[in-house]
A and B are shown apart, each in its own frame.
Chain A
Amino acid sequence: MKAKRLEGVMQGVFLFSALISVLSIILIIIFMFAGGVPFMMEYGIVDFLFGDRWSPSNTPSSFGILPMILGSIFVTIGAVVIGVPIGILTAVFMAEFCPPKLYKILKPATNLMAAIPSIVYGFFALQLIVPIMRNFSGGTGMNMLTAMILLGIMILPTVIGLSESSLRSVPRSYYTGSMALGATHERTVMKVIMPAAKSGIISSVILGVGRAIGETMAVVLIAGNQPIIPQSITSGVRTLTTNIVLEMAYAAGEHREALIATGVVLFVFILMINGLFMMIKRKESKA
């Protein structure tokens, strides 16, 4: 009887905990959309999304966020181009080629990379990448390429961690099956293990994209932050996230609403990325 009651109480506790996270996501959605959507309607969605002038302090002010949308997309693509190949190859190395002694160092190191606060990455880039970039391309050294490199590094732990675990979860019988046909270890890894882990690897890339597009504090330090559509890879760039963090502190009225609406756009991006992630997961569990 007593055990029964305890069970009931525990179930309540579990349910309550679960509800808290559901509740917070609902609150976030309500708050974001209530704060941002009315502004978008009033200002005009097309003008807002595809306007290329962001000048809140002009009269009349204009709030086009196309530069920031493109900035986020460009920077993320760059981060993927730089970070994903390195990340996947590192994961393959760690799962299939790494001597155990080296693994004991590499694994905690990549875990640590995931735990470093992003502002620290920002400092690192400011100290190291920015000066190099200044020598290499002139200007301030704070530009799109700098942001791409930094984000490429920052998505590594996500890509490595998930890819490695999906490589490791490939049944060993595939490996022995291939080796028994006279294939080399390398060929087995490339032609059997990696394709078998494909959906996990793709998921890791998608989560990496999510990380890159959402990153703020590191990017704001090194990207230049000009709200203009970048003309080249060495132009300064402002992303959706940095747009908000740069101006929220002093924004008021319409300006403030425009920033919340920027957040809504970012949120929609994240929703799409997560939707893609879930679709791939679902396909994986079906196969």
Chain B
Amino acid sequence: MSKISIKDMNLWYGDFQALHGVSLEIPQNEITAFIGPSGCGKSTLIKSLNRMNDLVEGCRIEGDILLDGKDIYKSNTNVNTLRKDVGMVFQQPNPFPMSIYNNIAYGPRTHGVKDKKELDEIVEKSLRDAAIWDEVKDDLNKNALSISGGQQQRICIARALAVQPEVLLMDEPTSALDPISTAKIEELVTELKEKYTIVMVTHNMQQASRVSDHTAFFFNGYIIESGDTRKMFTNPKKKQTEDYISGRFG
């Protein structure tokens, strides 16, 4: 079943068209990977799914993006609720310059949770779900910028989970991290798909094939090919896909 359906979508930054006629189904409780060479529109599409592109001046979108069958670009969509439901993790870990606790509690507080006990529970649960509770449980008041990059990224994942999203968007979440942190996050992501629908941009072909269930291959603003990851990696339908996967360009 599709959690998100993208239908014939075009996107412009000013006069520059960054996405051309993109259509894609993103299945529920599975991991969809976006792959493709630099500048082909992966970040652009993933940012459209929680309307972070609204923050980009001159960005214009045509076509439909449906979340649970509802068009998220309809004028009566509450963008703040949408972003609560569709969380996002960025390439560079970006915890706020405040304590670990306040980082995680920020989202729930934003959406109206005031009760201290309830916040405590959310913080613990989110940190556990992001597989970092054991590492930071004694340092919740420590500044989140003082821990390692890999830990910061998991704090950011926990922060995203704390508002109970349904979808988690991750734009190259491991590209700034060392191999061990990367492995931890990959493992975490595979666990998270039980509860969440995950979309992940990656430049790492092994990562895409290890982690994802579905893959979409982007090129120059078009989705060239998309489908089951295993099939696509063993038997790509398009020549361009094959060239990219096998590392002949990109």
Question: Interface size (A, Cβ < 8 Å)?
Answer: 18
Provided the pairs A173-B94, A176-B55, A177-B156 are in contact, do residues A184 and B80 lie with their beta carbons within 8 angstroms?
yes
Q: In the complex, which of the residues A176, A182, A191, A287 contacts B94, with contact meaning CB atoms closer than 8 Å?
A: A176
Chain B residues closer than 8 Å to A171, beta-carbon distance: 94
A-B contact count (CB 8 A): 66
Q: In the complex, which of the residues A176, A187, A287 contacts B110, with contact meaning CB atoms closer than 8 Å?
A: A187
Contact B83 A180 (CB under 8 A): yes
Question: Interface size (B, Cβ < 8 Å)?
Answer: 28
Within 8 A of A (CB), among B88-121: 88, 90, 92, 94-98, 106-107, 110-111
Contact B94 A181 (CB under 8 A): no
Contact B90 A182 (CB under 8 A): no
Is B77 close to A, CB under 8 A? no
A229 to chain B, nearest CB (A): 44
Q: In the complex, what distance in Å separates the CA atom of A82 from the CA atom of B92?
A: 41
B196 to chain A, nearest CB (A): 15
Provided the pairs A181-B87, A182-B163, A287-B143 are in contact, do residues A195 and B110 lie with their beta carbons within 8 angstroms?
no
Q: In the complex, what distance in Å separates the CA atom of A131 from the CA atom of B98?
A: 49
Chain B residues closer than 8 Å to A110, beta-carbon distance: none
B126 to chain A, nearest CB (A): 12
B177 to chain A, nearest CB (A): 16
Chain A residues closer than 8 Å to B206, beta-carbon distance: none
| Majority DSSP secondary structure for residues of A touching B | helix
Is B214 close to A, CB under 8 A? no
Chain B residues closer than 8 Å to A181, beta-carbon distance: 83-84, 87, 106-107, 110, 159-160, 163
Contact B111 A182 (CB under 8 A): yes
Is A178 close to B, CB under 8 A? yes
B42 to chain A, nearest CB (A): 17
Q: In the complex, what distance in Å separates the CA atom of A183 from the CA atom of B159?
A: 13
Is B81 close to A, CB under 8 A? yes
Within 8 A of A (CB), among B34-83: 50, 52, 55, 79-83
Contact A177 B96 (CB under 8 A): yes
Please give me the residue from chain B that is nearest to A179 by CB atom: B55
Looking at A181, A183, A196, the one whose CB has the most chain B CB atoms below 10 A away is: A181
Contact A173 B90 (CB under 8 A): yes
Please give me the residue from chain A that is nearest to B146 by CB atom: A287
B58 to chain A, nearest CB (A): 13
Provided the pairs A176-B90, A177-B90, A180-B87 are in contact, do residues A192 and B96 lie with their beta carbons within 8 angstroms?
yes
Chain A residues closer than 8 Å to B156, beta-carbon distance: 177
Within 8 A of B (CB), among A122-173: 171, 173
Contact B163 A174 (CB under 8 A): no
Within 8 A of B (CB), among A171-216: 171, 173-174, 176-184, 187, 191-192, 195-196
Provided the pairs A176-B90, A191-B106, A287-B143 are in contact, do residues A182 and B84 lie with their beta carbons within 8 angstroms?
yes
Q: In the complex, what distance in Å separates the CA atom of A192 from the CA atom of B110?
A: 11
Provided the pairs A173-B90, A176-B52, A177-B90 are in contact, do residues A182 and B83 lie with their beta carbons within 8 angstroms?
yes
A237 to chain B, nearest CB (A): 41
Provided the pairs A182-B107, A182-B163 are in contact, do residues A174 and B94 lie with their beta carbons within 8 angstroms?
yes
Please give me the residue from chain B that is nearest to A183 by CB atom: B110
Chain B residues closer than 8 Å to A176, beta-carbon distance: 52, 55, 90, 94
Chain B residues closer than 8 Å to A192, beta-carbon distance: 96, 106
A23 to chain B, nearest CB (A): 40
Q: In the complex, which of the residues B96, B107, B110, B143 contacts A174, with contact meaning CB atoms closer than 8 Å?
A: B96
Chain A residues closer than 8 Å to B160, beta-carbon distance: 180-181
B80 to chain A, nearest CB (A): 4
Chain B residues closer than 8 Å to A174, beta-carbon distance: 94, 96-97
Chain B residues closer than 8 Å to A195, beta-carbon distance: 97-98
Chain B residues closer than 8 Å to A184, beta-carbon distance: 80
Please give me the residue from chain B that is nearest to A193 by CB atom: B96
B103 to chain A, nearest CB (A): 9
Q: In the complex, what distance in Å separates the CA atom of A183 from the CA atom of B88?
A: 13
Provided the pairs A177-B96, A177-B156 are in contact, do residues A182 and B52 lie with their beta carbons within 8 angstroms?
no
B170 to chain A, nearest CB (A): 11
Q: In the complex, what distance in Å separates the CA atom of A177 from the CA atom of B163?
A: 13
Q: In the complex, what distance in Å separates the CA atom of A179 from the CA atom of B96?
A: 12
Q: In the complex, what distance in Å separates the CA atom of A193 from the CA atom of B119?
A: 22
* A interface, CB within 8 angstroms of B: 171, 173-174, 176-184, 187, 191-192, 195-196, 287
11 examples of A-B residue contacts, CB within 8 angstroms: A174-B97, A176-B94, A179-B55, A180-B160, A181-B83, A181-B87, A181-B160, A181-B163, A182-B163, A184-B80, A287-B143
Other A-B pairs beyond A174-B96, A181-B110, 5, CB < 8 Å:
A173-B92, A173-B94, A176-B55, A181-B160, A182-B81
